Amino acid sequence: MAKAVVIGSGIGGIAAAIRLAVKGYAVTVLEANASFGGKMTQFTLPGGYRFDAGPSLFTLPQLVDDLFTLAGRAPQAYFRYQRLPIVTQYFWPDGTRLTAHASADAFAREVEAKLGIPADQLHRHLQKVARLYHATANTFLHKSLHKLDTYLSPDVLKTLPALPELGLTTTMHAANAKAFSDPRLIQLLDRYATYNGSDPYQAPGTLNLIPHLEFNIGAFYPEGGIYAIAESLVKLAEELGVEFRYNETVQEIMVLGTRATGVRTGQGTYSAEVVVSNMDVVPTYRKLLPNQPAPERTLQQPRSSSALIYYWGISRTFPELDLHNIFFSQNYQQEFEHIFQKGSVAEDPTVYVNITSKLTPQDAPTGHENWFVMVNVPHNAGQNWDELIRQTRQSVLRKVSHSLGTDIASLITVEKIWDPRGIEADTSSFAGALYGSSSNNRMAAFLRHPNFTSKLKGLYFVGGSVHPGGGIPLCLLSAKIAADLVPPVAAPAQT
Ligand code: FAD
């Protein structure tokens, strides 16, 4: 039986393993950690708290369903989710509070009531974003940008007329500031740059298509939390015969001539016709392929932002908060200058608070909440993180306490911290960047590493550091693109 080895069990690696198993390969997943998930892992803290460690916002759930359907299973038998009626609660320093309803109509009405922007204006904006998304997603997200077939496909005929409106020659912020006058709405729309670790003051206007996912398609919550995505997919993979081997770090991708022939770990060698790396592409080349020429221009692209997360057990509940909550900074531009130019953290950063116990009550004891409190920070470049963690903790407590009119510090019963150093150490993400390279220039999409390499046959790449990008949906798409490029298993010769 033809063999495939997958290096890493992040969401991209798990999805690739499922797709290759369905294709007829005998798949082994080698994972350095003691369990699966990579950034999509979970933490528990004393006192009965559970946290999704990394991703918290879930869009395009049908990409998860597709894997069950592909394997001939009913998705609902493994994995259930609900569409959120409210996507996010927003808080500004001037006291403005705004509820981002999932329904585009309700959201536009709320924006009119709270920010004075005519509902029609936002509505037309979201409709335009939807039109552009549909004209471009198949070309830019669902296919390799590095294969001629993509450009010969009929989808390109839909994409070409949309190009002038995509905002390739302007920044996200400039496009939003042109479309709207209220600085709070501009800030809200600029924030979507952070969904792939970028800076709205540098990233191209194309990223303004991201809100389409939340407002026109929806934000979702899996039953049991985000970790349930990884859990249910690993269950499916195991049923399909995929073998997961934990605590087994791949040290080398074996090469013969121009072909990858398998991998070597501390425990032994695994020969395979297909090798898929779900490890960040930078260490894949630097550590696993040290003798192969590396695509330097690609590997040297600036990194995306990272995150500093405080996981807090909180000894009371806050009815004014929801699953997703944002406490905006006063000066957004300065915040991004700190992240991308100064390699530091602003004194007044935007704070994101995710509380899964709102929807999964067993994630915290009765009368308590589990707060995942995140600040966007630069990738790890050797900063004095201990000092930044201390300062940022104070800023966060000051800001959130002021907005909610309650002293939050006195409510913290238990705490864990994950910073860029820890993210790098725990997931091998180069410099702790959450999304591989940033999308801060208009060529970024084309400069991401492809899902294959023309230099080594049999080697494929999936996950957030390669095409089409980071975040759960794009990692799932990377697995689809890579698996579609893998040749079918040859039928046994007839005798
Ligand atoms: P990773 O999660 O990077 O996992 C790679 C795996 O490979 C790891 O398990 C690692 O141990 C293993 N590995 C590496 N090297 C080796 C080796 N040599 N041998 C064996 N195993 C190896 N996305 C969203 O969609 N929504 C969000 O709200 C969101 N928020 C985020 C918040 C945080 C704090 C973080 C950290 C991420 C967030 N993301 C979010 C991004 C999302 O989590 C990632 O894009 C995605 O999970 C990355 O998956 P991946 O397939 O690239 O693999």
**What are 312-369's pLDDT values in tens digits?**
999 999 999 999 999 999 999 999 999 999 999 999 999 999 999 999 999 999 999 9
Please say if the pLDDT value at position 495 is more than 60.
no
Q: Nearest C-alpha to atom 10 of ligand 1 is from which residue? A: 427
Ligand 1 center–CA 152 separation, angstroms: 33
Ligand 1 center–CA 424 separation, angstroms: 10
Q: What is the pLDDT of residue 145?
A: 72
The model's pLDDT over 10-54, given as tens digits with 9 standing for 90+, comes to 999 999 999 999 999 999 999 999 999 999 999 999 999 999 999
Ligand 1 center–CA 278 separation, angstroms: 9
Pocket test for ligand 1, best of 5, 39, 275 (most atoms within 8 A of CB): 39
Q: What is the pLDDT of residue 59?
A: 95
Atom of ligand 1 nearest to the CA of 12: 51
Q: What is the pLDDT of residue 348?
A: 97
Q: Nearest C-alpha to atom 44 of ligand 1 is from which residue? A: 471
Q: Nearest C-alpha to atom 42 of ligand 1 is from which residue? A: 471
Site of tokens 């960047």: 433
Higher pLDDT, 410 or 140: 410
Long-range contacts formed by 390-394: CB under 8 A, 24+ apart: 391/345, 391/347, 392/308, 392/345, 392/349, 393/310
Q: What is the pLDDT of residue 81?
A: 98
Higher pLDDT, 203 or 446: 203
Please say if the pLDDT value at position 477 is more than 60.
yes
Q: What is the pLDDT of residue 209?
A: 85
Domains of the chain plus CATH, in order, are 3-38+225-297+428-485 (3.50.50.60)
Higher pLDDT, 495 or 409: 409
Give, in order, the Cα–Cα distances in Å from 67 to each of 61, 123, 351, 396: 11, 33, 34, 39
Average pLDDT of the residues in 123-152: 78
Query: Is residue 412 a contact partner of residue 313, using CB atoms and an 8 Å limit?
Result: yes
Residue 495: CB partners within 8 Å, gap ≥ 6? none
Q: What is the pLDDT of residue 142?
A: 77
Atom of ligand 1 nearest to the CA of 56: 28
Give the residue among 242, 179, 172 at the shortest CA–CA distance from 4.
242
Ligand 1 center–CA 238 separation, angstroms: 20
Pocket test for ligand 1, best of 427, 449, 477 (most atoms within 8 A of CB): 427
Ligand 1 center–CA 279 separation, angstroms: 9
The percentage of the chain sitting over the pLDDT mark of 70, rounded to a whole number, equals 98
Atom of ligand 1 nearest to the CA of 248: 20
The model's pLDDT over 424-442, given as tens digits with 9 standing for 90+, comes to 999 999 999 999 999 898 8
Ligand 1 center–CA 5 separation, angstroms: 18
The model's pLDDT over 236-290, given as tens digits with 9 standing for 90+, comes to 999 999 999 999 999 999 999 999 999 999 999 999 999 999 999 999 999 999 9
What is the residue-averaged pLDDT of the chain? 94
Q: What is the pLDDT of residue 205?
A: 85
CA angle 482, 486, 489 (to 5 degrees): 145
Ligand 1 center–CA 216 separation, angstroms: 26
Q: What is the pLDDT of residue 156?
A: 67
Q: How many CB atoms lie within 10 A of CB 128?
A: 15
Q: Nearest C-alpha to atom 11 of ligand 1 is from which residue? A: 427
Q: Nearest C-alpha to atom 18 of ligand 1 is from which residue? A: 250
Average pLDDT of the residues in 139-152: 73
Q: Nearest C-alpha to atom 31 of ligand 1 is from which residue? A: 55
Q: What is the pLDDT of residue 287?
A: 98
How many angstroms separate the CA atoms of 391 and 389, rounded? 6
Q: Nearest C-alpha to atom 41 of ligand 1 is from which residue? A: 471
Ligand 1 center–CA 371 separation, angstroms: 21
Average pLDDT of the residues in 131-150: 75
Please say if the pLDDT value at position 493 is more than 80.
no
| ipTM here | 0.99
The model's pLDDT over 480-491, given as tens digits with 9 standing for 90+, comes to 999 999 999 977
The model's pLDDT over 452-474, given as tens digits with 9 standing for 90+, comes to 999 999 999 999 999 999 999 99
Q: What is the pLDDT of residue 157?
A: 67
How many angstroms separate the CA atoms of 90 and 322, rounded? 10
Q: Nearest C-alpha to atom 30 of ligand 1 is from which residue? A: 55
Q: What is the pLDDT of residue 446?
A: 78
Q: What is the pLDDT of residue 190?
A: 96
Ligand 1 center–CA 10 separation, angstroms: 5
399 band by pLDDT with thresholds 50, 70 and 90 = very high
Ligand 1 center–CA 165 separation, angstroms: 32
Ligand 1 center–CA 146 separation, angstroms: 23
How many angstroms separate the CA atoms of 148 and 152, rounded? 7
Residues having CB closer than 6 A to ligand 1 are: 7-13, 30-33, 38-40, 54-57, 249-250, 278-279, 307, 309, 374, 423, 427-429, 434-435, 463-464, 470-472, 475
Q: Nearest C-alpha to atom 8 of ligand 1 is from which residue? A: 38
How many angstroms separate the CA atoms of 492 and 341, rounded? 57
Ligand 1 center–CA 475 separation, angstroms: 9
